[in-house]
Chains A and B, each alone.
Chain A
Amino acid sequence: MLQALADGILTGSIIALGAIGLTLTMGILRFANFAHAEMITWGAYMALGALALMGPFMAPLGALSFGLPLIIAMVIAAVLTSLLALMIDHLVFRPLHGRPNDMTIVFSSFGVSLLVRMVVLLIFGGSAQYYSNTLQIAVPVAPGLRILPDQLFVLGFTIVTVISLHFFLQRTRLGLAMRALAENPTLARVNGIDTRVVIRWTWVIGASLAAVAGVLYGLTVQLRPEIGFHLLLPLFAAVIIGGVGNVFGAVVGGLIVGLAESLSVFIIPPSYKLAVPFIILLIVLYVRPTGIFGSAHHAGAK
């Protein structure tokens, strides 16, 4: 039970990272971007590629399975994922924006997600890969609860990222501009904000968070080209639970989904685990379509 709780929090925090990026881009760009999940895959594999080039696993840090190269690889992955997002926006989404039929852009994001996954498959192949071969010893923290040092790192890193993002949104001019754009793009422009610049930064932040989520996920499971696809439903569930555009909500949503998945094994057979986010999503959409923290009126980024 305790172990399931810990696992749930861990998965939940990774879902939360991905969901923050998704909720930000959905709140500001106003469409459901199904390609976001593939940014996670792309980020995870870009880090793998960067590690391979760096000559990977020299000197792990303390009890962790990886060393400084992985951190550098994560930064490189964030940059490469941001570039991919900016390119997709420039080539696909921007030309479609403001079309009368809003569904076009949503479907095109489906197309883009397939494309990205196929490119990853083409470059890296379909078999499972790992960042590190180092075997880690789980540390018993309490009776019946063992945690890998890597998992502690993932949790700590997520917390730091969420807090930094909160301060960024609340305290900086760019963060303020992003919140303004989420509420009312026209009024934002009237106020002298160049919304194209803000949108680009939104992509960079969303994609970087996706890349980080991908690398952290890759640390705790094996890398496969489908990891993003498998996260798609949990991500959307987390975003909708928290209310579109609500960063804090996405974190709580991510934790709820992660915990529900891992605790569900006590009630339903483990093979149904993947259906859990779907069920949560249905319940939330039925009971409170604007999400737990979403206001009925505006889906502004909080």
Chain B
Amino acid sequence: MSGHLFQANNVVAGYRPDLPIIHGVSMHVDAAEMVTIIGPNGAGKSTMIKAIAGVLPISSGSVTLAGKDITRLPTHGMAAASIAYVPQTDNVFTTLTINENLLLGASSLPKAKALEQVGKAYDKFPALKQYRDKKAKVLSGGQRQMLAVARALLTDPHLIMLDEPSAGLSPLMVSDVFARLRELVESGVSVLMVEQNAKAAMAVSHRTYVLAEGRNRVEGVSSALAQDPEVIAIYLGAGGRKR
């Protein structure tokens, strides 16, 4: 047993039991560490964090958080187990108001505590306050991303997993999102994020995993990997990949 906050060992998972997409991937995240996952389209990055979040079943392997086995925990139990997940798409409820979205994020808390946490979320993300009673569908891409992150933080998780938090954002917004995540890490939260924006993500994160075809390909300290000729050739050449 190692001392990592979060650990995934030889995880096998997919959308159908007979067709695994992830073929035994391992990774870990330490306390207050920021870790990036990169890889080509279809490498299984989203599938991997969906499996960790309990959205997809894990057919073999194990996942632990703070020494506790969470491999078979149902999705709705993850929040209480101190792990939060922001999906790649559809990560806010567009038919609900901003305030309702935040209240939902606190579903696993008692009501009084939930209201207190929602209040704190507005302090942390004051820009959301003016939209309090507006439907989330009126928000811009960046604002939605902010709401999704604010929602995920309501339970004060140890680990927050984000699937492409910078997707579709303007360059200015991208650095803003990464700066916010960096602040989170400094406050002691661990971050595991999938990113297309490999260069920028590696610049802010401690370590990086490269996945390809559902397997671990390369891993290491971000600053070192950013110098790796193979990684540069595949993922960092010509200003990063376009989809």
Contact = CB atoms under 8 A, between A and B. Distances in A.
A192 B100 contact: no
Contacts of A195: 76
| Most chain B CB atoms below 10 A, which of A184, A189, A192 | A192
B155 A192 contact: yes
B53 A190 contact: yes
Given A190-B85, A192-B108, A184 B76 contact: no
Contact of B100 (A176, A182, A297): A176
12 contacts: A173-B107, A176-B100, A176-B104, A177-B104, A179-B96, A179-B100, A186-B55, A189-B74, A191-B104, A193-B107, A194-B74, A302-B95
A300 interface: yes
Contacts of A193: 76, 104, 107
Given A173-B111, A189-B76, A190-B85, A184 B104 contact: no
Interface string B50-94: 000111000000000000000000111111100001010011111
Nearest to A177: B107
A302 B97 CA distance: 11
B119 to A, nearest CB: 17
A90 interface: no
B48 to A, nearest CB: 16
B105 interface: yes
A37 B103 CA distance: 35
B152 to A, nearest CB: 9
Nearest to A189: B75
Interface of B: 53-55, 74-80, 85, 87, 90-96, 100, 103-105, 107-108, 111, 151, 155
Contact of A187 (B74, B79, B87): B87
A180 interface: yes
| Most chain B CB atoms below 10 A, which of A183, A189, A298 | A189
A121 interface: no
Interface string A163-186: 000000000010011011011101
A210 B104 CA distance: 29
A180 B80 contact: no
B162 to A, nearest CB: 12
B103 A176 contact: yes
Interface SS, B side: loop
A190 B93 contact: no
Given A179-B95, A187-B92, 5 more contacts: A183-B94, A184-B90, A190-B75, A190-B85, A193-B76
B81 to A, nearest CB: 10
Interface of A: 173, 176-177, 179-180, 182-184, 186-195, 295, 297-298, 300, 302
Contacts of B155: 192
A244 to B, nearest CB: 13
Contacts of B77: 192
Give 4 nearest A-B pairs by CB, closest first: A192-B108, A192-B79, A300-B95, A189-B75
A191 B78 CA distance: 9
B78 A192 contact: yes
Given A173-B111, A176-B100, A180-B104, A190 B95 contact: no
Contacts of A295: 95
Nearest to A194: B76
A180 B93 contact: yes
A190 B49 CA distance: 12
Contacts of A192: 76-80, 105, 107-108, 155
A12 B168 CA distance: 47
Given A191-B151, A300-B95, A186 B75 contact: yes
A300 B97 CA distance: 13
A177 B74 CA distance: 17
A190 B107 contact: no
A177 B151 CA distance: 15
Given A177-B104, A190-B87, A184 B75 contact: no
B96 A176 contact: yes
Contacts of A191: 76, 79, 104-105, 107, 151
Contacts of A180: 93, 96, 100, 104
Contact of A183 (B80, B87, B96, B103): B96
A179 B53 CA distance: 22
Nearest to B79: A192
B67 to A, nearest CB: 21
| Most chain B CB atoms below 10 A, which of A187, A190, A194, A298 | A190
B86 to A, nearest CB: 8
A187 B80 contact: no
B93 A187 contact: yes
B182 to A, nearest CB: 24
A190 B111 contact: no
Nearest to A197: B76
B55 A190 contact: yes
Nearest to B92: A187
